[in-house]
Structure 1
């Protein structure tokens, strides 16, 4: 697995994804800290939502750890040549849909069963959009252009 390319994908997709979550929360009157502590509360329990700046930093770490797994899984699929004949926008859209299904139908309901899965069309669209537009498609584009990424990073 090409480490530079994987690192770029994690940074780009992770930043776009958490940025989207923070901006949508700010628009609703929340804070970036709320978002990040909410992420931390997934694996560390409800107390993480009261951990201040430390909880927010932990949440950012959790977010990027999850993104590493998401990106690595895509790169493993791509390395097995399963995606060679698929245009990146199609592969990225499919992968984004799969990530959404995994997160919103399995992971989140197992932690917060009274909130998830989402049922309203608008809620689903708002949650689905970043998985496709900010994770799946950019990831597929980065994975499908290894030479360009390596050259840009090497100078």
Structure 2
């Protein structure tokens, strides 16, 4: 990556695309629990509440925009803390796994309970494990690998 901004945009965009694609494929296509539009409306409902479910494609677009905003924020945050956390320099794989779990924890234990005060109780089961794996693979790992490439190119090469 040539610049900090391009690295963050690349990491956020890649993570956003992978995570959204995985969610739609897993929950709408394979498990047939919902539709792609409902997934996107659910994301939009974080800000627009129940109105998000009555707005059709427009609300789905808001869901896409919010989803990518969140992905860019997590990419920016990782980029900013990367140089301060020596553990991240050891292995992009390990730091990506760790950061992915951190992202899942922040979203599921802090953000969602604040935005939606009444949530179903979580149980350690297949759906929970699947949600953790998706976040790790689609958000944590790409952000870690893209960020590491920038830092090794700009700061750690001789």
* TM-score after normalising by structure 2: 0.85
Shift in Å, 1:37: 0.6
Query: 1:130 maps to which residue?
Result: 134
> Of residues 11, 32, 37 in structure 1, which corresponds to 2:41?
37
Q: Does structure 2 retain, via aligned residues, the 8 Å contact 1:42–1:111?
A: yes
For the residues of structure 2 that align with 1:87 and 1:54, how far apart are their CA atoms? 41
Shift in Å, 1:149: 8.8
Mark the CA change 1:140 to 1:147 in structure 2 (over 3 Å): closer, same or farther. closer
1:50-88 Cα deviation digits (max 9, x unpaired): 111100000000000111110000000113354453200
* Structure 1, gaps ≥5 residues long: 151-155
Alignment: residue pair count:
150
For the residues of structure 2 that align with 1:84 and 1:31, how far apart are their CA atoms? 37
Query: 2:77 maps to which residue?
Result: 73
Mapping of residues 2-151 of structure 1, within 5 Å = 2-26=4-28, 27-29=30-32, 30-80=34-84, 82-83=86-87, 85-116=89-120, 118-146=122-150
For the residues of structure 1 that align with 2:108 and 2:95, how far apart are their CA atoms? 20
* Structure 2, gaps ≥5 residues long: none
Q: Does structure 1 retain, via aligned residues, the 8 Å contact 2:42–2:52?
A: yes
Q: Does structure 2 retain, via aligned residues, the 8 Å contact 1:75–1:143?
A: yes
